[in-house]
């Protein structure tokens, strides 16, 4: 019998590659078997694995198993961390010892009849590594093996009287399918409908989970909808007494060395429901520059009243920004300042920091200077009033302003549009939802917010002032909190190209990407059935704007430098810019201190508070919209598909702008596969397609103002492709079941090389 040939010992590169390409973690025995090593070679393998681990090329985990650094074992403990923008449940590893961000983990839906996973809950889960890589992070799908910890320790919910007087709490979190039994009211008198904060009670017991009431927040109804969002997102909404006292001690600022602008016809232009006025504008032709203009943007001098390290300053930084709800504002500063001394109230003296700016006939900024000043607003006007006046329908407020104030403002605005067009600013057409709430807190309507040229006028004036502020601080060599917006990532661009290919719009990836390239795409789609769809997908391809002392420019606005200067009442970032300007101008008290905090750390904090505010505002709008629709269950609506996920479709209604979910189980007569790159669900049997942006008719099935959940069922059928066999992406192996198979969820595997990142919205691009 021939002697067995000894296998060659693998190189260290081969060992590392095998570990990297093997799902989960690999034991030494598996490596030895894979490379067919004998007893002597196994000793060498042990030494080589020790070296590779010491060099950080591989990682040794419990059980003497090896993996790529930063990867997770096939079975591990996870904690539910929330949801992404499409509502898919995200989790994070309980143990993560690396400096790099942990992998992205999507939890597979629970089986029919099982309680949905709640935020903070821990599970033992089986992981499957996907082909996706999002922003350099590995992506996993996790399936629950068993729960380790049940509901989170605290739950916000609405109290109801149950059978035999037994109290019940219904969670405001739509993922809590079960109610909670109130085992201890903590001596608090409760009434049906109260909004309460509860704490989970330990111990095993039959029936629904038991809770103890910690706090009664308010009586529920429309007036509590915003409070739900405030508590769920941990928005600070009560000012400490020391902060209120400091604000109420504020007094009028003296003229002193300020420039006197009180005789200048500066006016404020805001929404009809605005509660604070922090910017005023003025324009006049520049006699020294034919076709050019002299513009003034005057901003409330918050730095005069909010001094570094004062109680006001500490609280303002903690909040980061004001948060705006349909029925209220949670301000960054107490009312005595936000609606008082720091609000440019008409016909009252107010301190300000003003930007004098000169533009040429092409709308280009030729020079600028900043001054600390005292002003007196000539009028408080609204966008609607200004637009109607310019269109030839002035009222008693705007008629005296038309020739000398309003007309020059529009003249300067038209000139600024020339520069905007030449820069190639990203021009997305994305309507904004508007909730109308009366004095009693009741929703009277949900609509798409109107957009006038007067809105754009103010935006262009503010952008110009923000650019001037950034340029000034750079010239003075002072710290600046830039508003940065990076280019889209390569993976997002690849995903966008895949989608555009499906609707025959060319997009070359080899070029240096500029905002105008996206405008060309939007122009090609304009006045076509795909227009709304293309705007949505282009938006999702963009990165998110943030605050940083390191300038990378602003991609969306096509600007080399940009900061936020124009809203220090409601944004702490703007207050920092004001303090730096005061320091550079040597303009008195309230300047940026020499030993100021680290701007990089502050930028991260302010970006976080901005995202927190956006999430709270979005959730409140969803709940108000659900409240408005709750009396129209069974009604039919026209709408568009605004989101496509593996568990269903999101539909935005034409009439109101409200949106909701069409669960995939309600789609009739087919198995549906999720084609992520093309943003559509495809019926495997009949080839019926539901794609992002498609027009649909839906029936309202559920609208819950407590959770904000709205559910529809599609009435009309989707588009049917001619060749069902080619309709879907064959790399999708899983099936999601249609009507008659309720409770089962899609388990579609992701196409190799395709990313979930295209679904990430970049809400704030300015």
Domain of 164, CATH number, reads 2.40.50.140
| Distance from C-alpha of 224 to C-alpha of 207, rounded to nearest angstrom | 29
Residue of 174, 160, 173, 170 lying closest to 209 (CA atoms): 170
- The total of structural domains in the chain comes to 5
Q: Are residues 303 and 435 in the same domain?
A: yes
In a domain, 556, yes or no: yes
HSE, side-chain direction, 13 A CA sphere, residue 273: 13
pLDDT of residue 343: 96
Residues 177, 63 share a domain: no
Asked if residue 314 and residue 298 are part of one domain, the reply reads yes
Closest CA to 461 of 606, 354, 568: 354
Taking alpha carbons only, the member of 176, 111, 87 closest to residue 662 is 87
- Strands 323-325, 293-300: parallel, antiparallel or unpaired by DSSP? unpaired
Assigned domain for 232 exists = no
Q: Tell me how far apart the alpha carbons of residues 90 and 110 are, in angstroms, rounded to a whole number.
A: 13
Q: Are 648 and 597 within one domain? A: no
Longest dimension (CA), the chain: 110
Check if the beta carbon of residue 657 is closer than 8 Å to that of residue 712. no
User: What pTM was estimated for this model as a whole?
Assistant: 0.74
Among 104, 133, 149, which residue terminates a domain?
149
**Mode of pairing for the β-strands spanning 137-149 and 104-107:** parallel
- For residues 278 and 342, the answer to whether their CB atoms sit within 8 Å is yes
- Note whether 605 and 630 are same-domain residues: no
Question: By C-alpha distance, which of 57, 148, 145, 58 is closest to 94?
Answer: 148
Q: d(Cα 703, Cα 628) in Å, to the nearest integer?
A: 9
Question: What's the pLDDT score for residue 115?
Answer: 66
Is residue 22, in this structure, part of any structural domain at all? yes
**What CA–CA distance (Å, rounded) separates 87 from 82?**
9
Could you write out the three-class secondary structure of 562-622?
A: CECCCCCCCEHHHHHHHHHHHHHHCCCCCCCCCCCCCHHHHHHHHHHHHHHHHHHHHHHHH
The three-class DSSP label of residue 548 is strand
CB-count burial class (<10 Å; 0-12, 13-18, 19+) for 418: middle
What whole-number distance in Å separates Cα of residue 535 and Cα of residue 209?
A: 45
The residue among 660, 667, 662, 680 whose CA lies nearest residue 748 is: 680
Residue 663 φ/ψ, nearest 5 degrees: -60, 145
- The answer to whether residue 688 sits within a structural domain is yes
In terms of domains, do 597 and 739 share one?
no
Which residue is associated with the tokens 């009396």? 631
Per the structure, the complete domain to which residue 190 belongs is given by: 154-220
DSSP per position, 81-107? EEE-TT--EEEEES----SSPPPEEEE
Amino acid 503: pLDDT: 84
Q: With CA atoms as reference, report the closest residue to 454 among 381, 386, 377, 378.
A: 386
Identify whether residues 184 and 107 lie together within a single domain. Answer: no
Burial bucket for residue 536 (CB in 10 Å: 0-12, 13-18, 19+): buried
| Among 117, 323, 164, CA closest to 237 | 323
Whole-angstrom Cα distance, residue 367 to residue 412?
Answer: 15
The closest alpha carbon to 297, from 311, 325, 278, 310, belongs to 278
Is residue 675 within 8 A of residue 681, CB to CB? The reply is yes
The answer on 589 and 463 residing in a single domain is: yes
Domain with residue 141: its CATH number is: 2.40.50
Q: Are residues 734 and 688 located together in one domain of the fold?
A: yes
Same domain for 123 and 142, yes or no, is yes
List the CATH number of the domain containing 50: 1.10.10.10
Cα→Cα distances 599→306, 315, 568, 663, Å: 18, 17, 17, 45
Residue 514 lies in a domain: no
Q: How many other CB atoms sit within 10 Å of the CB of residue 155?
A: 24
Residue tagged 């006001």 (tokens): 312
Within this chain, do residues 88 and 189 fall inside the same structural domain, yes or no? no
What burial class does residue 143 get, using C-beta atoms within 10 Å of its C-beta: 0-12 exposed, 13-18 middle, 19+ buried? middle
What pLDDT digit, counting tens, does each position of 709-727 carry?
899 999 877 666 644 344 4
Low-confidence ranges of the chain (pLDDT < 50): 1, 150-152, 722-765
The DSSP symbol for 230 reads H
Q: Are 177 and 115 in contact (CB under 8 A)?
A: yes
Q: How many other β-carbons are positioned within 10 Å of the β-carbon of residue 460?
A: 21
Query: Does residue 413 share a domain with residue 302?
Result: yes
Q: Dihedral through CA 233, CA 116, CA 92, CA 663, nearest 10?
A: -80
Backbone angles phi, psi at 633, to 5 degrees: -60, 135
Q: How far apart are the first and last CA of the chain?
A: 78
Asked if residues 337 and 351 have their Cβ atoms less than 8 Å apart, the reply is no
114 in a domain, yes or no?
A: yes
* Residue 472 · residue 252 · CB < 8 Å: no
Is residue 266 in some structural domain? yes
Q: Per the domain annotation, does 492 fall within a domain? A: no
Among positive and negative, which fits the CA dihedral 748, 751, 753, 755? Answer: negative
How far apart are alpha carbons 461 and 101 in whole angstroms? 39
Residue-wise pLDDT for 268-299, tens only, equals: 999 988 878 999 999 999 999 999 999 999 99
Q: Are strands 75-83 and 26-27 parallel, antiparallel or unpaired?
A: unpaired
Among residues 620, 643, 664, the one where a domain terminates is: 620
The CA distance from 86 to 638, in Å, is 21
Boundary residue ending a domain (124, 149, 174): 149
């Amino acid at each position: 019998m021939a002697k067995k040939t000894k296998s060659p010992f693998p190189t260290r590169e081969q060992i590392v590659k095998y570990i990297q390409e093997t799902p989960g973690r690999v034991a030494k025995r598996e490596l030895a078997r894979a490379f067919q090593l004998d007893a002597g070679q196994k000793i060498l393998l042990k030494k080589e694995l020790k070296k590779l681990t010491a060099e950080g090329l591989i990682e040794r985990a419990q059980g003497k198993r090896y993996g790529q650094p930063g990867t997770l074992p096939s079975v591990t403990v996870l904690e539910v961390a929330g949801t992404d923008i499409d509502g898919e449940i995200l989790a994070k590893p309980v143990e993560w010892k690396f400096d790099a961000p942990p992998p992205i983990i999507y939890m597979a839906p629970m089986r029919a009849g099982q309680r949905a996973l709640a935020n903070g809950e821990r599970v033992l889960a089986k992981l499957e590594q996907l082909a996706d890589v999002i922003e350099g992070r590995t992506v996993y799908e996790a399936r629950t093996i068993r729960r380790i910890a049940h509901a989170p320790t605290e739950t916000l919910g609405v109290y109801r009287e149950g059978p035999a007087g037994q109290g019940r709490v219904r969670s405001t979190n739509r993922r809590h399918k079960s109610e909670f039994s109130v085992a201890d009211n903590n001596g608090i008198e409760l009434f049906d409908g109260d909004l309460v904060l509860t704490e989970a009670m330990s111990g095993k017991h039959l029936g629904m989970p038991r809770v103890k009431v910690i706090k009664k927040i308010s009586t529920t109804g429309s007036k509590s909808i915003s409070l739900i969002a405030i508590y769920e997102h941990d928005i600070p909404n009560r000012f400490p007494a020391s902060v209120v006292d400091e604000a109420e001690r504020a007094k009028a600022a003296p003229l002193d060395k300020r420039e006197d602008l009180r005789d200048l016809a500066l006016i404020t232009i805001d929404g009809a429901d605005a509660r604070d006025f922090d910017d005023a504008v003025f324009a006049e032709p520049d006699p020294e520059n034919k076709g050019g203009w002299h513009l003034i943007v005057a901003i409330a001098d918050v730095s005069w009243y909010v001094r570094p390290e004062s109680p006001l300053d500490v609280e303002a930084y903690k909040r980061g920004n004001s948060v705006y709800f349909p029925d209220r504002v949670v301000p960054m500063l107490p009312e005595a300042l936000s609606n008082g001394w720091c609000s440019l109230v008409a016909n009252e003296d107010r301190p300000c920091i003003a930007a004098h700016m000169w533009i040429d006939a092409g709308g280009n900024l030729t020079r600028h200077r900043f001054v600390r000043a005292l002003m007196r607003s000539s009028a408080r006007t609204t966008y609607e009033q200004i637009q109607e006046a310019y269109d030839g329908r002035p009222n008693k407020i705007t008629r005296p302003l038309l020739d000398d104030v309003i007309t020059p403002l529009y003249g300067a605005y038209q000139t600024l549009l020339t520069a905007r067009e030449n820069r190639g600013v990203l021009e997305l057409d994305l309507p904004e939802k508007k909730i109308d709430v009366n004095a009693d807190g009741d929703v009277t309507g949900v609509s798409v917010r109107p957009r006038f040229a007067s809105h754009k006028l103010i935006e262009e004036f503010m952008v110009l002032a923000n650019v001037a502020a950034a340029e000034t601080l750079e010239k003075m060599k002072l710290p600046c909190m830039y508003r940065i917006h990076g280019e889209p990532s390569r993976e997002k661009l690849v995903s966008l190209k895949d989608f555009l290919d499906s609707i025959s719009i060319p997009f070359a990836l080899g070029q240096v990407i500029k905002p105008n390239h996206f405008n060309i795409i939007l122009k090609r789609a304009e006045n076509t059935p795909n227009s709304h769809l293309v705007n949505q997908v282009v938006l999702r391809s963009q990165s998110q704007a943030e605050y940083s002392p390191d300038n990378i420019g602003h991609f969306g606005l096509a600007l080399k430098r940009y900061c936020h200067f124009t809203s220090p009442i409601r944004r702490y970032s703007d207050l920092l810019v004001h303090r730096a300007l005061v320091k550079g101008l040597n303009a008195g008290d309230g300047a940026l201190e020499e030993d100021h905090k680290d701007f990089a750390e502050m930028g991260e904090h302010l970006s976080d508070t901005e995202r927190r505010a956006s999430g709270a505002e979005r959730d409140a709008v969803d709940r108000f919209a659900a409240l408005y629709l709750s009396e129209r269950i069974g009604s039919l609506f026209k709408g568009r598909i605004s989101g496509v996920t593996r568990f269903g479709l999101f539909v935005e209604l034409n009439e109101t702008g409200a949106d909701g979910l069409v669960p995939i189980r309600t789609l009739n007569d087919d198995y549906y596969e999720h084609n992520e790159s093309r943003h559509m669900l495809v019926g495997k049997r009949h080839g019926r397609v539901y794609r992002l942006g498609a027009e649909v008719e839906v029936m309202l099935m559920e609208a819950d103002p407590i959770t904000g959940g709205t559910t529809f069922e599609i009435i009309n059928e989707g588009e049917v492709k001619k060749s069902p066999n080619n309709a879907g992406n064959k790399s999708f192996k899983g099936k999601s079941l249609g009507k008659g198979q309720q409770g089962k969820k899609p388990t579609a595997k992701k196409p190799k090389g395709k990313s979930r990142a295209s679904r990430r919205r970049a809400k704030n691009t300015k």
